A and B are shown apart, each in its own frame.
Chain A
Amino acid sequence: MKKIILSLIMTAAVNSYAAVSEDSKIFTPYFDMTLLEAAYVPSEGNIFSGGNINTQVGLLTKITAKDSVFGLYNFNYSGPAFQPQDSKQFTDRSMSHGFNFEYRRSLGEKFRVRPGVSYMTDYVRSGANEAWQNGLYNMNSKGGQLAADYNFDFDRNGFLTAAYMVRNIAFPNYTDLLREFQNADNTAETSGGLQDQSLTQFSLRPNWNGFFAGYTVTQQNYKHQMVVDAHSGIYGATKQKDKSTTFDGGFRQKLWIFDLSPMLSYTMHRSNQNFLRYKSALATGFANMADGSNDITMVAKNYDYNELTFSVPVDLNVTGKWAIGGSINVIRRAYTDRGARDVDNNYTVAKQKNLMSTLTGSIRKRMNDVATMRLFYSLVVASSNNKFEKYMPSNYTGNSIGVAYQLSY
């Protein structure tokens, strides 16, 4: 907490001199605040409200013609909302503070390198309303990154960015409650830290004239979590490793009276972790996916999936101030090995597939050069061939209506 306070004070103190900098161009402040609040009506369960707050405060300081420093603080709150299947409960919330400091050095006219450090703390709260500090999945992340930019077209903002990032991620409150319960001699120390991991990410992103694309590889190496052996069903000596590869692309363009910003991404997630499904605490016997109705079933490569996401937001500018907006957003996840379950928790022959589609209609008012307000209505349809929904909903319809504000400078 001391770090947060100190950093906030530093950010505030430094930014207070931004007015001078406007003329000298030594200091360039950055402020972006987005606020969204909505009411949600799901087909299962009761009405609830939720929202999202994102505040980014940054300052770019030009030290010499070639050297500059950029500091950014980011506050983010994600409230209750409809969620894609297999992710989290509607009532889960999270709040994070992120700090990022970056040194920028120009190399000639076309190249620039950007080494940086980053720290983030993330609080996660479930529908049980536990105190923020007590969240089971609270997380701290710290690390560094090195990015390099190559500018190949100054006139049309064409550049290529390569970035390498390393993070050390700790979950201080996480413990395996089941393991502690099963073994009385076990302690929180031996059952804790199972989510702790190191994360490395490499990305390559070209941009040109409003068009963008990306290739991102993310590797997560767990420090303590072992893999469940696919043959014996017990934890072995291999540590869990996850890898995600993502391709994405899109553009932001103004065509006549339309503002378009479609985006498409495809992710392949692979993990060496397996999953042992118990139908009950007293279940006995052991089978693989060939016998999906057994009381205990081993699902090898349970977490491997391919996910396609696309969104097509369009704003029709009726006047300079007013616009009518619409968007379609689709998330389709197909598990490579995990079978879909029937209502009795038996695995079927078909592989699990989830689909979540959102259709949104909105009215946007541009209040001035820096502020906009948007009223919106969204219809969400989530469907899956997984019919076992005792803990998480897989098939539901939801309606939401809300308001969003954005002020960006």
Chain B
Amino acid sequence: MKKLISTLTVLLCLNGISFAAIDWESKGMQMAGEIVANPSAFFYDFQQDLEGTTPLPPGKAFSVQTGLFPTLIPMTYLNLSGKYRLHAEGRIAPGVPQVDLIGGYCDMMAAKMAVKDSDTIDSAKLNGYYMGAILSSSVSPKIRTFWGYKRSVLGAKIEFTPGNELDLLGTKIGNIDTGFKDDFLMAGIETPKGTNKVWSMQLNYGLRTQTFSTKLSWSGRFFELGLNIYPEGVLVFHPVWNFHVNF
């Protein structure tokens, strides 16, 4: 009990707080190692940043979207996404949910530019697409839940010029052809924060790779600010800024 009291005293007085010296170099090397071990998973996290996986606002029939940060800037992902409403909530019969089709494409320009400036790389491609559908249903005037499926694919291919293959621990690597492909289930909830403003939270879960992420977003008339969290990713937090127009 004495120990308990003394420990609580220490806690309450905030004495003896000891911070370890943070070894940023070691942390950086660890992160670099994780990227090298699974580069496609690292780049796929950025693809998820640009994927539009929330339902269309009630009353809107379709939309276009492009990711600005961290996708277009600084990752040089040219990207375009779209949503199309197949069925408005309750139109066929009361209670039948809204159904939206979603999809998009992205292509990393930096990979193409790297080829121009390099004598050792013949070609480099890093592009991806996604497609799926979202069901959304109002459960109260202030709450809408949504459920969805998406198929996401990312391709990464690098070809080295003959004689300039990548030397990895004595092993020559001629080409790198990797990628990421998975089927995701999504579940989320959204609540209005004002006219044309929505706050949402969702979980994305990849059935094959067991990749998962959560997306928090504040969506306005033209812009979406988000915080995407990839707990098992190299960069856990991705602040996100997307532009969209709903029609």
Assuming the A-B contacts A359-B11, A379-B11, are A370 and B231 also in contact, with contact meaning beta carbons closer than 8 angstroms in the complex? no
Asked if A95 and B210 make an inter-chain contact with CB atoms under 8 angstroms apart, the answer reads yes
* B2 CB, nearest partner CB in chain A, Å: 11
Partner-binding segment picked from B64-72, B88-96, B114-122, B155-163: B88-96
For the complex, give the distance between the alpha carbons of A308 and B245 in Å. Answer: 56
Contact partner of B187 among A17, A55, A367, A381, CB < 8 A?
Answer: A55
A330 on the interface (CB 8 Å rule)?
A: yes
Chain B residue at minimum C-beta to C-beta distance from A37 = B229
* Interface contact B145-A53, CB-CB below 8 Å: no
Closest to A77 in B: B231
Q: Are A381 and B7 closer than 8 Å at their CB atoms?
A: yes
Q: A118 contacts the other chain (Cβ, under 8 Å)?
A: no
* Chain B interface size, under 10 / 10 to 19 / 20 to 34 / 35 or more: 35 or more
A51 touches B145 (CB 8 A): no
Mask, B167-203, CB within 8 Å of A = 1, is 0000000000000000001011101010000010101
User: How many A residues touch B, CB cutoff 8 Å?
Assistant: 60
| Interface majority SS (helix, strand, loop, mixed), chain A | strand
A238 contacts chain B at the CB level, 8 A cutoff: no
**CA A397 – CA B15 in complex, angstroms?**
11
A residues in contact with B7, CB < 8 Å: 355, 357, 381, 383
Judge whether A367 and B199 touch: CB under 8 Å.
yes
Q: Which residues of B contact A33 (CB under 8 A)?
A: 188-189, 201, 203
B236 at interface, CB cutoff 8 A: yes
**What are 18 A-B pairs with beta-carbon distances under 8 A?**
A1-B207, A19-B90, A29-B139, A31-B143, A31-B145, A33-B203, A35-B216, A46-B27, A47-B27, A51-B231, A77-B231, A79-B232, A353-B3, A355-B3, A370-B189, A371-B199, A381-B10, A381-B11
Query: A residues engaging B (CB < 8 A)?
Result: 1, 4-5, 8, 12, 15-22, 29, 31, 33, 35, 37, 41-47, 49-51, 53, 55, 57, 75, 77, 79, 93, 95, 123, 129, 132-133, 328, 330, 332, 353, 355, 357, 359, 367-371, 379, 381, 383, 397, 399, 405, 407, 409
| Residues of B that sit less than 8 Å from A by CB | 3-4, 7-8, 10-12, 14, 16-20, 22-23, 26-27, 34, 37, 89-90, 94-97, 135, 137-140, 142-143, 145, 147, 185, 187-189, 191, 193, 199, 201, 203, 205, 207, 210, 212, 214, 216, 229, 231-232, 236-237
